[in-house]
Structure formats: structure tokens, C-alpha cells
Amino acid sequence: MAHAAPPAPPEGVGAVERAVPCEPEWEVDTGAKLFRVHREAARDGPSGATAETGTNAHPSDARPIKPSGSAEHASAPKTSPPISHVDAEQAARRVLVAVLEVIDGRRSPATLSPLLATAPLLQVTRLAKVRHRPANAAQVRTVHATVSRSQAHTQKAHTSWIEVCATYARGRRLFAVAAHMEARDGRVTCTALRMPI
């Protein structure tokens, strides 16, 4: 007995078609090239990610590429640190010893050029010319320095102000000294000096 053929399904019903990918495309910017990545159908497996360029890619594998001239690799300008209190007192003592040696005629005034600004240098030079060499050499006794940072600085150097109060002895007599100095880029310069002789 012949079996009757099953009725044909209505049009548009029962037809099986391959579904299009429902996941949106990924736009991955690596810094060098823009990749558009999407997952293929299940036939390629869960890791079947491809890029439009034809090479395998995945959003987790695409990392930004830092340009070679990144600011992170640029060396920051180096600045000299402000002078410490101990270094300031030691530098002030060296300056005062050199000044007294010039006044006493034991040192050339030209050696003070790196240590004194123009005004105090001329002052000490005049004292050395008019004063006779004393019998007793002057000796620095005490030096006290107060360091304060200046707001005037550049990318290469920082200026510190040093206020100096000191005493020196000549024989049995004791004299007071006041000076203003500046420390800049590791160099200390006396810019004002008050020293009785």
C-alpha cells in the first residue's frame, strides 16, 4: 500500500538558514592601526575571532602601542637641590676666611672673584689696599647661617638665600660680621658684606 507524501510546509515555515553573527563588531585601537574584530559563527569555535586584515585577533590581545617618543621616556630636567644648613655654614666660613686673608695681605684679591659679587669684592679690595698688614692675623670664631629658599629658580638651578652672622677675633678683640649669600647650582656667592676691621 503506497504511503501518502507528507504535505509540504507552508512557505516561510520550517526553513533553516544560517544565522548572521549577532554580536557587534569590536573596534580596537592599538595606536598604530584600527582593527575591526567580530566573532564568527559557532562553526569556528568559541575562540574563532578574525580581523578584517585576515590575521587572528582578539580585543584582549590588542594592546595600545606607546609611541617611541612618549613623554614617560623623556628625561625630566634635573634641578640642583637647595643647600643644607651644614653646607651653608661651611661655605660661609670658607668665604669669610678668604676675605680676612685678603684684608690681612696673605691672599690676592683676585682669588675672591668666584666667591664675592662685584660690590663686596670692590669693598674688600679697597680695604686690602689701604690697610697695613696687621701683626695679629684674624681668625674666624663662630658662624651661624639661616637658609631660606628663593622663589626665583629655573629648570636647571635653584637659588637659596643664606643670612650669615659670624664673629672673628684679632688678638684679644672680637668683631661681628653680617653677610648675605646666595647658593645657586652648587655655588655659594657673597652678595653683601658688613665687616668692621
Find out whether 103 and 131 touch, Cβ atoms under 8 Å.
Answer: yes
Enter the pTM of the model. Answer: 0.57
What is the predicted pLDDT for the residue at 2? 56
What is the predicted pLDDT for the residue at 35? 46
What is the predicted pLDDT for the residue at 22? 54
What is the predicted pLDDT for the residue at 120? 96
According to DSSP, residue 44 is labeled: G
What is the C-alpha separation between 150 and 161, in angstroms, rounded? 6
Find out whether 80 and 185 touch, Cβ atoms under 8 Å.
Answer: yes
What is the predicted pLDDT for the residue at 50? 45
Ranges of residues in the chain whose predicted pLDDT is under 70: 1-81, 150-157
